[in-house]
Structure 1
Amino acid sequence: MTTALGLGLPQNHQYDIGKDVPEVARAAEHIGYQSLWAYERALFPEPATQGLFDIPGMPWPDGYRSVAEPLVTLSLAASATERVRLGTSVLVAPLHGPFQLARALATLDAASGGRVVAGLGSGWSLAEYAAAGVRSFEERGKVLDEVIDVCKAVWGPDPVTYDGEITRIASAVVGPKPAGPLPILLAAGNARAQRRLVDHADGWLPLAVGAERTAAQWRRLQELAAERGRTRPIQTVLRANAEYTSRPYEGRDRALFQGNAKQIVEDLVPHAGIGFDEILVDLQKGMRDGQELTDVAAEVYELARAAGV
């Protein structure tokens, strides 16, 4: 059984969002990709006093200078497609009011015919938390918990009631409802987040960090699920962040998923062997425009299928 393949949509500053998102989405569905994904980066601090991923001294990628809002991006993709699933990988949930986010996701799911996957994370950028103003960075875990609970309440039967720290819903009708089951997947990079995933979410959205390390993370999560008595399966979507080069990358320092289409697929193969349900390939870094992204996405898809991915 082949692994489902997803594609990251064009969101960065080099793209014409209104033109490229629907065109790439339509082409990706035609190529055979089974899902389309958008990520969240709310701002680019200048100067950056906090390193990327909170790693001191690590610079922010230039592509983060302008990133289209993920649910708007997915709305553009939804209008141009019929079958592909539409996911966030990831949306930084605590930057959003829980009630408004739950309604936005439900509306997008209803409008797209039940194709949305809510991939959520807690983020790491202090500047984004300060700008959003929902809650402090230190409260991010509690806010994420409330977002999950509010989504389940709002997406459930009417009348909806909820009494939390941020959200209070007296008995009310809240619509539209999702068109079908709307899965919540979490990035879950630490032990506490993994417990949240096992107890309250539908699936896992890890970042590919090499087949051996990624497989070990998956084994640990499965062991935790068994320890906590979870019986329903964990949906899995692995994110592969690629850096495409038109010629083969020849240096010994080649990073994971760096290089031409053949090299990117060579890195996909062992990750596919881990047994994840799906692999999301984000190719937008380094592309000139939407047409180049479409062309490379087609080449990667063809080579990946030929390699058994």
Structure 2
Amino acid sequence: MKIGINLPQTTSYDLAADVTVFAKAAEGLGFDSLWAYDRLLTPEDQSGRHGLYGMADVPWPERYGYTTDPLITLALAAAVTERVELGTGILVAPLYGPVRLAKSLAALDAASGGRVIAGLGAGWSVDEFEAAAPRPIGERGAALDEFLDVAAAVWGPDPVSFDNGRYRVSPSRFNPKPVRRIPIVLGGRGEAALERIARRADGWLPTGMPAAAVQETLTRLRQMAEKRGRDPYEINCVFQVGITDLGELGRVVDDLGALERAGVGHAYVTLPSAAANVAELLEAAGELSARLRGR
């Protein structure tokens, strides 16, 4: 199983220096991937539908209001690494114009020598949608499908043509192209999300689930894909392992072992959320790497 780690993106870090310092160190420690998540804002009013994950009155983590742009963060990491894959986990595709986002991801893949993993989701924050999204939150699933359609065109051969009645690309050149076919892994657990993964994604990106439930859902996804004429083992799983306390490193190693046995092929750990600064983060990453080698 490949194992990755999140990049530092929030206020407890010096963002002018710590992303690149940590990216180089993590690659040297043998991690397989580096990840950045997407959070546009944090609303002051977190009542009712403005709560975390759209749940009434559930407060947001403080760090969400101080989160750097994921593509800029990954570009910094790309500039100082050579081997690690670079993943968005998760980028909320409906918050962006689809043509521009497709071009940005292609440029990052080209700049990194073909290392991008596009981890995408439909989103959940009504405040973020009202602030930035081309389509309302009620159309977020359709907007994600629209991005996948646009990306397939923009990342394909020139001249690119596309017209879905909302976006129209007359025959045009789009460059740079991705170095490789960018893997697309999608979040979500609902029926519509699983159906989308089975139809058109390379994998599933869940979090906060026990290994047995992940194995059960992954098996179901592969069965769904096979019914649609796909090779079921084209559907992979990238799992986000959460951690908020560095005393939980032993639990993280155990979780990774259970996920590997459940068939997960790639996992990454949200280690920066548990560290107070980059020195603590570097020490924790070294300890995690050593524990993983000693399994």
User: Counterpart of 2:272 in 1: which secondary structure?
Assistant: coil
Question: Which residue type is aligned with residue 3 of structure 2?
Answer: L
Partner of 1:10: 8
Q: Please, which of 29, 32, 42 is the counterpart of residue 31 of structure 1?
A: 29
Question: Which residue type is aligned with residue 242 of structure 2?
Answer: N
Partner of 2:75: 75
Q: How many residues align?
A: 292
Distance 1:234 1:105, change over 3 A: same
Residues 241-260 of structure 1: pairs in structure 2 closer than 5 A: 241-245=242-246, 259-260=247-248
1:285 Cα shift?
A: 1.3
Q: TM-score, normalised by structure 1?
A: 0.91
Distance in 1 separating the partners of 2:94 and 2:278: 31
1:53 Cα shift?
A: 1.3
1:295 Cα shift?
A: 1.2
Q: Which moved more, 1:225-234 or 1:101-110?
A: 225-234
* Native 8 Å contact 1:41 1:67 kept in 2: yes
1:302 Cα shift?
A: 1.5
Alpha-carbon RMSD across the aligned residues, in angstroms, is 1.3
Partner of 2:113: 113
Distance in 2 separating the partners of 1:276 and 1:304: 16
Residues 1-309 of structure 1: pairs in structure 2 closer than 5 A: 3-49=1-47, 50-231=50-231, 233-245=234-246, 259-307=247-295
* Native 8 Å contact 1:188 1:197 kept in 2: no
Residue ranges of structure 1 left out of the alignment (5+ in a row) = 246-258
Distance in 2 separating the partners of 1:218 and 1:208: 15
Q: Higher helix fraction: Structure 1 or Structure 2?
A: 2
Distance in 2 separating the partners of 1:48 and 1:188: 22
Residue ranges of structure 2 left out of the alignment (5+ in a row) = none
User: Counterpart of 2:127 in 1: which secondary structure?
Assistant: helix
User: Counterpart of 1:260 in 2: which secondary structure?
Assistant: helix
Distance 1:40 1:165, change over 3 A: farther
Distance in 1 separating the partners of 2:167 and 2:117: 23
Give % identity. 43
Distance in 2 separating the partners of 1:299 and 1:188: 31
1:73 Cα shift?
A: 0.4
Distance in 1 separating the partners of 2:133 and 2:32: 35
* Native 8 Å contact 1:208 1:214 kept in 2: no
1:159 Cα shift?
A: 0.4
